[in-house]
Chains A and B, each alone.
Chain A
Amino acid sequence: MRTKSIKPLILIAFLSIAFGQEIFAELDVNDSWIRSAPPNSKIFSGYLKFKNVSPNEITIKKMKSNAFDQIEIHSSFIEDGISSMRKIDSLRIPENSEVKLDPGGYHLMMMSPKKEIKEGNLVELIIYYKTLDRIKILRSDAMVLRDGYE
Chain B
Amino acid sequence: MNRRNIIFIVLILFGITGLFTYFQSLPSLLEKKPSLVTGKILTRPMEIDNFELIDQNNEVFNKKSLVGSWTVLFFGYTNCPDVCPTTIYKLAEIKNGIKEDLPSTSFNTVLVTLDPDRDSTERLDEYIGYFDETMLGVTGTYENIQSFTSSLSVFYQRINKDQGYDFNHTASIFVFDKDGSLFATMSPANTVGELEGDFFTILNNF
Q: For A78, what are the chain B residues with a Cβ–Cβ distance below 8 Å? A: 171, 187, 189
Shortest beta-carbon distance, A123 to chain B, in Å? 14
Of the candidates B164, B166, B187, the one whose C-beta lies within 8 Å of that of A85 is: B166
Of the candidates A35, A45, A82, the one whose C-beta lies within 8 Å of that of B169 is: A82
Of the candidates A35, A43, A84, the one whose C-beta lies within 8 Å of that of B79 is: A43
Q: For B83, what are the chain A residues with a Cβ–Cβ distance below 8 Å? A: 76, 83, 85, 103-104
Stretch among A91-99, A105-113, A126-134 lining the B interface: A105-113
Instruction: Report how far A46 CA is from B78 CA in the complex, Å.
Output: 16
Given A81-B171, A82-B170, A85-B166, A109-B187 contact (CB < 8 Å): no
Q: Determine whether A88 belongs to the interface, using a CB cutoff of 8 Å to chain B.
A: no
Q: For B86, what are the chain A residues with a Cβ–Cβ distance below 8 Å? A: 103-104
Pick the most buried of B79, B123, B171, B172: most chain A CB atoms within 10 A of its CB: B171
Q: For A74, what are the chain B residues with a Cβ–Cβ distance below 8 Å? A: 82
Q: Determine whether B142 belongs to the interface, using a CB cutoff of 8 Å to chain A.
A: no
Residue count of chain A within 8 Å CB distance of chain B? 27
Q: Binary interface profile of B, 107-129, with partner A (CB < 8 Å = 1, else 0)? A: 00000000000000001001101
Q: For A82, what are the chain B residues with a Cβ–Cβ distance below 8 Å? A: 155, 168-171
Q: Determine whether B163 belongs to the interface, using a CB cutoff of 8 Å to chain A.
A: yes
CB <8 Å contact, A85 and B130: no
* A-B contacts, CB under 8 A, total: 71
CB <8 Å contact, B169 and A109: no
CB <8 Å contact, A42 and B79: yes
Shortest beta-carbon distance, A114 to chain B, in Å? 14
CB <8 Å contact, B82 and A42: no
Q: Determine whether B22 belongs to the interface, using a CB cutoff of 8 Å to chain A.
A: no
CB <8 Å contact, A147 and B82: no
Instruction: Report how far A140 CA is from B126 CA in the complex, Å.
Output: 31
Q: For B80, what are the chain A residues with a Cβ–Cβ distance below 8 Å? A: 43
Q: Determine whether B81 belongs to the interface, using a CB cutoff of 8 Å to chain A.
A: yes
Q: Determine whether A55 belongs to the interface, using a CB cutoff of 8 Å to chain B.
A: no
CB <8 Å contact, A43 and B169: no
CB <8 Å contact, A42 and B171: no
Q: For A45, what are the chain B residues with a Cβ–Cβ distance below 8 Å? A: 81-82, 85
Q: For A8, what are the chain B residues with a Cβ–Cβ distance below 8 Å? A: none
Instruction: Report how far A102 CA is from B164 CA in the complex, Å.
Output: 23
Instruction: Report how far A39 CA is from B169 CA in the complex, Å.
Output: 25
Instruction: Report how far A78 CA is from B169 CA in the complex, Å.
Output: 9
Given known contacts A38-B130, A81-B170, A103-B83, what 10 new A-B pairs fall within 8 Å (CB)?
A: A37-B81, A38-B126, A38-B131, A45-B82, A76-B82, A78-B187, A83-B170, A85-B82, A103-B86, A107-B81
Q: 9 closest pairs, A vs B, by CB?
A: A45-B81, A38-B130, A83-B171, A103-B86, A84-B168, A45-B82, A107-B82, A43-B81, A78-B171
A-B CB contact pairs (8 Å), 14 listed: A35-B82, A37-B81, A39-B126, A42-B164, A43-B80, A45-B81, A81-B171, A82-B169, A82-B170, A103-B82, A104-B83, A104-B189, A109-B81, A112-B163
